[in-house]
Amino acid sequence: MTKPKKDNEGEQQPKLFSSKYIVGLVAMIIILIVTFKLLPTDYTWPEIKEILLSAKPGYIIAGFGLMFIFQHCVTLSIQLLINLFSGQRFPLELSFKSAYIGYFFNNVTPFATGGQPMQMYYMNKRGVSLSYSSIIFMLLSIFYTICLLTVGAVMLIWKHDLIMSSLHYIRYFMYVGYLLNSLLIVGMVLLIVKPAIIRSLAKGVSGLLLRFRFIKNPYHYLRKLANFTRGYKANSDALRKKPIVLVKLFLLHLIQILVLFTIPYLATRSLGGKPNMLADTVSLQASLYISANSIPTPGAVGITETGFVTMFKSILPDHQVMPAMLLTRFINLYGFMIISAIITIIAFLRADHDRKHKKPRLDKKTKLLKNKANNRV
């Protein structure tokens, strides 16, 4: 299959430092400050700082290790699908950077809506067609949500009494979270199984935009739209012929969810928590995560911090609750966002440099074949 042309010619693309993402980041910081001011605690911040400094660093390092495993599962999922749909061997580095770009922008936008557009934009800059990347990230969302609800439901059945007694007012957010995520799965599965829906939606939106003259070049837009829907349908058909890919995606996302929900356990262990609390911490974190998904704040800040303090009081001593929350959020959000931001900036700077110098980025196998061909000549 020949490499598709890029889809971004003549169209305005999202900016790395656009006002939307800056506002989201500022909003996250403000919400965090207000949240920490309002969180009830019987300990002063100097006392909490002393407890944090006494934490065992080995568990914190292990927590970051789990976050890297989490991101590596995202990388492998992207790589699996991009090679399937394109029929080519794209470099793993492309999927690696796309995974971290998604993590960063998902956490600075409400309902994690900013990650996929920036991932698709970056991959398009690297030569990946939007008809490939659109279905790739839709599939990732489907399997992530399915595994999230699966783990959450299993834990809710297994640890029902503990979860319901710990939730308090957060139970209503959990109900909304289960409902919204279930509707999301149904909608996205329909788009995969019935790709004609995409065509109908695209035609409806384009007709509306044309009517109000939001599109300057309608014929160019409609031609690109036809190419996109044709490619989307082909990719959807290719996926149905490879059921093993669906199994691999499910397993990769199941690992993602489990390692993410294990981080609070490592945080509590670093503070001297009991070793037999793994199931309890995973069950509480699963319900908290699903609850936080119903709140449109960047990085789910606010509800996650207050929810953690509210729920984990049932299994942790009072002096460990606030430090455990801070360590957990430092590992799975604050600290890892810094890592993701650095990788994101490097990825876009390198992509712009390669584009200006028209330097293609090939994987090792492709380079080897190209060198052999040149040597024969």
Blockwise average pLDDT, block size 10, the chain, 377 residues: 45 55 63 58 65 86 95 95 85 92 83 78 85 84 92 94 90 90 82 67 65 60 63 71 89 96 94 89 94 76 84 88 89 88 88 65 51 48
Six-digit token string for 246: 């669906």
* Spatial contact of 288 and 173, defined as CB atoms under 8 Å apart: no
E-strand stretches of the chain = none
Q: For residue 56, what is the DSSP state?
A: -
pTM: 0.78
The rounded distance, in Å, linking the Cα atoms of 227 and 286 is 41
Quote the tokens at residue 330.
Answer: 């430092």
Q: What is the pLDDT of residue 275?
A: 86
Both tokens of 316, joined, read 């942790």
Length of the chain: 377
CB 218 within 8 A of CB 210: yes
Residue 311's nearest CA partner among 336, 286, 332, 329 is 286
- Rounded Cα distance between 18 and 60, Å, is 33
Q: What are phi and psi of 7, to 5 degrees?
A: -105, 10
pLDDT for residue 5: 45
Please return the burial class of 200, using the count of CB atoms within 10 Å of its CB with bins 0-12, 13-18 and 19+: exposed
Q: What is the model's pLDDT at position 225? A: 62
Which of 296, 294, 281 has its CA nearest to residue 332?
281
Residue 194 CA to residue 237 CA, distance in Å, equals 10
How confident is the model at residue 4, as a pLDDT? 46
Is residue 235 within 8 A of residue 132, CB to CB? The reply is: yes
To which residue do tokens 């920036």 refer? 118
Confidence (pLDDT) at 70: 96
Q: What letter does residue 286 receive in the DSSP assignment?
A: H
d(CA 95, CA 107) in angstroms, rounded, equals: 19
